[in-house]
A and B are shown apart, each in its own frame.
Chain A
């Protein structure tokens, strides 16, 4: 009996060691430890063993059973690991292969700039207002201190539809519309982005259609220093860098004093380069204190209230900010161009 058990132990050890996959191990488990397995068969012969030998043989049989169990378990674990290793090795890929592209379009750079402008000004408490692109002569000109014979009407030759109706030449009419709607209430604090139109031949720096963002603040005690403060804060946020601003006198019929604001050149930081025509300065917007006639015309007492207005061109800002050399690129919609702004 003992010999048979020892022989079984040897045989099982060899067989388990020789097995090289999990299936064989499963078979071996059945073969040795199963209900009809060899160990069971041997143990069935226990009845022939003498009573005093029984515990010893029984002990030995149990020892062999657990030994085979362990051997099987170890081997199984090893095999499972090997199989996993093998699978993982087979599954290896070249991680440097190109990705399967996900669709991604892009926003137009002008829209991007307009949104940036909106975000900066809403952050400073401005409300975004809109108005019609097809305007009356009254809102586009008359109410902005530009009567019929005003010489400044030459500056912005316009597209008329009838003698009274035209495509707006600036977003300034929204100023007047907003003030009229507010019926003398303060504060007025708006920006109005939108398309405007002028009779210009399209070339590298002109477009018959372009964008403008107009701004207006009306309240008690608004001074030119506030105009400077708000617009300097805007410029810094827009171009994302510390820059200097300077105001220069200018002329707009609907503001007085009128200013143009320059920023220190974003390319050369004011040292002088081609972009700033060696001046170190780049003009980015026009502004001024709202002309008393405009305030009065829109129902605001110009003695009690003052205000400032400004206008800037997102097209021009896009050209500056993104280094675009020709305004026509903005309206050609060449995908090779638009793709450059997927991250804006």
Chain B
């Protein structure tokens, strides 16, 4: 809502209140002022002149040399290039020393050899809003009304000595969608007088037929109309055009402008139908028949459904109620008689129609929020009065009304004690009474209670707490003190899950990974690039109305976006990327959701390119499978998660020989591996490793686990090396499992310290060397004991894996 300060001044006393102070008061009162615009844009010394003579320029076809009377002793000679300049016109003249918006200064000059003592200005040059200007003002110089006095400051004529406040209204304050409403609000905030225009129903002898039928009670419970004849369509007066421009509305002609003006003034949208196009003067308000079509006045054919509310003349639709009139009943240059509508359309009906048809107008946005039923007839009277004054209109019927449903006067009771309890500040009763006086809410004081009659202009107030808010607003939120709650205190804590998620983040950060946050919405194509077995079988959940193909479904895997992030960074000259994300994936096996999907916290990482740059004494480092596996093991160690194992796995998008399934207690919880070279290539990435693991099983495993101390070893350890030759296919994890199984209570640790292949070992074989640490808890081990166990291990390795001891 745009509010002209000058206009508002007519309705409420703004003495000694500057636009900035007004804005501050409104903002503090809950009506946020976004912008204060100074309408004059820096215009200075631009005055009204009359073109009294015009000669062609001797050296330029398109230039004219004009003699302009600006009220000084001598006429000014001004060279002008506009095609529409003509003798007899009143025009804005920027005289020597004038300033125009954008800091432009006007001086005497010569144009093609002819002296020019100023400039005749266009509307645009004066800073008027270009897109709101009528066509005839968009080109050439601005022609002012004949009444404009020669020598007058043009800012007076165009209403540029004004400020416009842009209100950012919350949805509950639709009452401030009119100057009347704003005037009441300002009057309450500043404790000032209001003076609003009062129009009476115009007397008429006219007998034009007018019949109203309301066939959709819920959507339109109240409708008023009047016929006005003898109209002459013409431009509206300059002051009205100025106000419309200041309010962001394009002036069109006196009839349309008057309906818009009254809407701005009183908040009641009006619609004018060409009466001669309304069959028998009958208005029937009804819902559309399925498939019914209306051509709206923008020339578009609109398909309606059974929820669309129509204004018809009994035979055919002549408009979509509250949204847009029909082309068939549009007011034209030739219109002399019109039917003026002022009605209450139910907000849900208008909201649905406006949304469905993609039509949002000043009118529909007011109906959507509910207009003040008490202003429907006054607005009609006001418009008829203005039509008489500025369009020669005479009423040709009485005001006809049709009303279903009774009045909705509301009385709300406020308890003083409750008020104090909710606000936490002692407001005296007299102060509360004074606030209701300022609000102009009639109030009856009881014992510790206030019975408040809420005017119909404030539909947002219907229960006690609404009044508490009103009192607080006017008392001043800034006067609410700061206190801290007392009473039962509880310890504040993170959940165990949150605490563990924090450890995960910190640990990964400390081994060099950067946390990233990607969007939950992504594209199905991106998700299908890399398979994630734990989400296989789930179809990504789709939005019904996505904003783009890129953000269409909820992710079922975090890795694809990490790939995208890595690619983005590598394209920006990063030598590598080490990333992780701790976020959710969204899984449902339903085709169409009937219940909420599973939201699974997952941890994913991606490492590509250089992990450390070449240094003066160190070569550049890049990741391999084992460095990334190391990061995960480091994390598991930090979390105290044991019983994690890996086994080789093959999935789409992953390197078939370098990918592992991660198992916790034998159950798969994720994947780790190199991306498939084709995927790497498609994203301009070098060797790239990624992982993703489910967080919940990890948390279940470590939640609440407290480490218990063991006694330090009291007896010495014995170390034995074990060098074996086995088939290359044998996973070392299985060898180690056997060593631990047989070694049982005696083998304290198993360290793989060497592994190699080569001709000396034999084709398809590998050499594996372990250091085994033997120790018993309660005694010193003898050589014999150790040898016995060691031999048993060797024997088992030999039977199970055909391992040969290498001497």
Q: Given A247-B477, A257-B465, A306-B422, A334 and B484 touching (CB < 8 A)?
A: no
B residues in contact with A228, CB < 8 Å: 480-483
Report yes or no: A223 in contact with B424, Cβ–Cβ below 8 A.
yes
Given A128-B493, A223-B424: A165 in contact with B596 (beta carbons within 8 A): yes
State whether the Cβ of B516 lies closer than 8 Å to any Cβ in chain A.
yes
Knowing A98-B615, A224-B424, A230-B485, the reply to whether A126 touches B492 (Cβ < 8 A) is yes
A308-335 with Cβ < 8 A to chain B: 330-335
**CA–CA, A251 and B484, complex, Å:** 24
Interchain CB contact under 8 A, B596 and A136: yes
Per-residue interface assignment for chain B, residues 493 to 515, with 1 indicating a CB less than 8 Å from any chain A CB and 0 otherwise = 11100100010011011111111
Contact of A105 with B27 at beta-carbon distance under 8 Å, contacts A100-B618, A127-B492, A257-B468 already known: no
**A226 sits at the interface (CB 8 A):** yes
> What DSSP secondary structure best describes chain A's contact surface?
mixed
Give the interface centre of A150, A222, A223 by most chain B CB atoms within 10 Å. Answer: A223
A66 within 8 A of B: no
For window 217-263 of A, CB contacts with B under 8 Å fall at: 217, 219-226, 228-230, 232-233, 245-251, 256-259
A130 vs B497: C-alpha distance in the bound complex, in angstroms? 10
Known A-B contacts A104-B509, A223-B423; A195 and B514 likewise in contact (beta carbons under 8 Å): no
Q: Among the listed stretches B283-291, B374-382, B570-578, which one makes contact with chain A, having 4 or more residues with CB under 8 Å of it?
A: B570-578
Please give, as numbers and ranges, the residues of chain B lying within 8 Å of A104 by CB-CB distance.
509-510, 512
Q: In this assembly, does A51 line the interface, its C-beta being within 8 Å of a C-beta of chain B?
A: no
Contacting residue for A197 out of B172, B466, B520, B579, CB 8 A = B520
* Chain A residue with the shortest CB-CB distance to B352: A149
Bound-state CA distance A38–B505 (Å) is 76
**Are the C-beta atoms of A128 and B519 separated by less than 8 Å?**
no
A134 at the interface (CB under 8 A from B): yes
The answer to whether A189 touches B586, judged by C-beta atoms less than 8 angstroms apart, is no
How many residues does chain B have at the interface if contact means C-beta atoms less than 8 Å apart?
A: 95
B515 pairs with A233, CB closer than 8 A: no
B687 interface hit (Cβ, 8 Å): no
Interface assignment of B9: CB less than 8 Å from any CB of chain A: no
Whether a CB of chain A sits under 8 angstroms from the CB of B446 is no
Stretch in B120-128, B302-310, B543-551 touching the partner: B543-551
The answer on a CB contact under 8 Å between A208 and B521 is yes
Q: B494 touches which one: A125, A128, A161 (CB < 8 A)?
A: A128
Query: Nearest-CB distance from A151 to chain B (Å)?
Result: 4
Query: Is B518 a contact of A125 with CB atoms below 8 Å?
Result: no
* B757 is an interface residue with CB less than 8 A from chain A: no
B115 at the A interface (CB under 8 A): no
Known: A289-B465, A336-B572. A226 touches B513 (CB 8 A): no
Cβ–Cβ < 8 Å partners of B485 in chain A: 217, 219, 222, 226, 229-230
Q: Is the CB of A335 within 8 A of B599?
A: no
CA distance in complex: A225, B491 (Å): 22
Per-position contact with B for A112-138: 1 when CB-CB < 8 Å, else 0? 000100100111111110101111100
Report the separation of the CA atoms of residues A336 and B568 in the bound assembly, to the nearest whole angstrom. 11
Identity of the chain A residue whose Cβ is nearest the Cβ of B172 in the assembled complex: A251
> Which of A27-35, A53-61, A152-160 lies at the interface?
A152-160
How far in angstroms is the closest Cβ of chain B from A247? 4
Tell me the nearest residue of chain B to A302, going by C-beta.
Answer: B465
With the chains together, A101 CA to B614 CA distance in Å? Answer: 10
* Cβ–Cβ < 8 Å partners of A251 in chain B: 30, 170-173
Task: Tell me the minimal C-beta distance from A254 to chain B in angstroms.
Answer: 12
Residues in B neighbouring A124, C-beta threshold 8 A: 492
Residues 1 to 56 of chain B near chain A (Cβ within 8 Å): 27-30, 32
Which residues of the other chain, B, contact A150 by a CB distance below 8 angstroms?
171
Question: CB of B790 within 8 A of chain A?
Answer: no
Picked from B463, B482, B593, B612, the residue with its CB within 8 Å of the CB of A162 is B593
Once the chains bind, are B616 and A224 in contact (CB under 8 Å)? no
Contact with A along B510-542 (1 / 0, CB 8 A): 111111111111000000000000000000011
CB closest residue in chain A, given B349 = A149
Q: Mark A184-216, 1 if CB is under 8 A from B, else 0.
A: 001101000001010101000000110000000
Closest-CB distance, A86 to chain B (whole angstroms): 24
The answer to whether B517 touches A333, judged by C-beta atoms less than 8 angstroms apart, is yes
A230–B485 Cα distance when bound, in Å, is: 8
Q: Given A134-B596, A197-B520, A291–B465 Cβ distance below 8 Å?
A: yes
Within 8 Å by CB of A127, from B348, B423, B490, B578, lies B490
Q: Is A209 a contact partner of B469 (Cβ separation < 8 A)?
A: no
Separation of A149 and B347 alpha carbons in the complex (Å)? 8
A249 touches B425 (CB 8 A): no
Q: Is A107 an interface residue (CB 8 A)?
A: yes
Q: Which residue of A lies closest to B508 (CB)?
A: A105
Interface string of B397-434 (1 = CB under 8 A from A): 00000000000000000000000011111000000000
Q: Give B481's nearest chain A residue, CB to CB.
A: A225
Closest to A112 in B: B515
The reply to whether the CB of B584 lies closer than 8 angstroms to some CB of chain A is: yes
B424 contacts A225, CB within 8 Å? Answer: yes
Chain A proximity mask over B139-180: 1 for CB below 8 Å, otherwise 0: 000000000000000000000000000000011111000000
Q: How many angstroms between the C-alpha atoms of A209 and B29 in the bound complex?
A: 31
The docked-state distance in angstroms from the alpha carbon of A292 to that of B423 is 14
Question: Does any Cβ of B come within 8 Å of A26's Cβ?
Answer: no
Q: Which residues of A contact B513 (CB under 8 A)?
A: 105
A292 to B17, CA, bound (A): 38
With CB as the reference atom, state the residue of chain A lying closest to B470. A257
Asked if residues A105 and B521 are in contact (CB atoms below 8 Å), the reply is no
CB contact between A289 and one of B30, B173, B422, B613 (< 8 Å): that residue: B422
Residue of chain A at shortest CB distance from B513: A105
Question: Do the beta carbons of A335 and B492 come within 8 Å of each other?
Answer: no
Contact of B543 among A151, A159, A330, A336 (CB under 8 A): A159
A309 CB → nearest B CB, Å = 14
Residue in chain A with minimal CB distance to B463:
A292
Q: Complex Cα distance A160/B544, Å?
A: 6
Task: Note all chain B residues with C-beta closer than 8 A to A12.
Answer: none
Q: Determine if B480 and A108 form an interchain contact, defined as CB atoms under 8 angstroms apart.
A: no
B490 touches A125 (CB 8 A): yes
Contact B422 A103 (CB under 8 A): no
A226 to B541, CA, bound (A): 42
Residues of A with C-beta under 8 A to B541: 134, 161
Contact of B469 among A100, A187, A222, A249 (CB under 8 A): A249
Most chain B beta carbons < 10 A, residue from A103, A250, A257, A332? A257
Verify A338–B514 contact, CB threshold 8 A.
Answer: yes
Q: Which residues of A contact B468 (CB under 8 A)?
A: 256-257
Question: In the complex where A134-B599, A219-B485, A247-B478 touch, is A106 in contact with B572 (Cβ < 8 A)?
Answer: no
Interface: A2 (CB within 8 A): no
Determine if A72 is an interface residue (Cβ-Cβ < 8 Å): no
- B62 on interface, CB distance cutoff 8 Å: no
Contact yes or no, B568 A334, CB < 8 A: yes
Task: Tell me if A339 counts as interface (CB < 8 A to partner B).
Answer: yes
Tell me whether A110 is interfacial, beta carbon within 8 Å: yes
- CB pair B480–A335 under 8 Å, yes or no, is no
Instruction: Decide if B599 touches A149 in the complex (CB within 8 Å).
Output: no
User: Looking across the interface, which residue of chain B has its beta carbon closest to that of A186?
Assistant: B488
Cross-chain contact B514 with A105 (CB below 8 angstroms): yes
CA distance A165 to B547 in the complex (A): 17
Q: What would 20 more interface pairs be, CB under 8 Å, given A195-B520, A333-B514, A333-B579?
A: A100-B617, A105-B514, A105-B578, A108-B515, A125-B489, A133-B520, A134-B586, A134-B599, A149-B347, A150-B171, A161-B544, A162-B594, A167-B554, A232-B482, A251-B173, A256-B468, A306-B422, A332-B568, A333-B518, A339-B514
Can you give 13 A-B contacts (C-beta < 8 A)? A105-B512, A124-B492, A125-B491, A125-B492, A134-B541, A155-B171, A219-B488, A224-B424, A225-B425, A249-B469, A257-B422, A257-B477, A333-B579
Q: Closest 6 interchain pairs by CB?
A: A223-B424, A249-B30, A103-B512, A225-B424, A251-B170, A122-B492
- Chain A residues within CB distance 8 Å of chain B: 97-98, 100-101, 103-108, 110-111, 115, 118, 121-128, 130, 132-136, 149-152, 154-155, 159-162, 165, 167, 186-187, 189, 195, 197, 199, 201, 208-209, 217, 219-226, 228-230, 232-233, 245-251, 256-259, 289, 291-292, 306, 330-336, 338-339
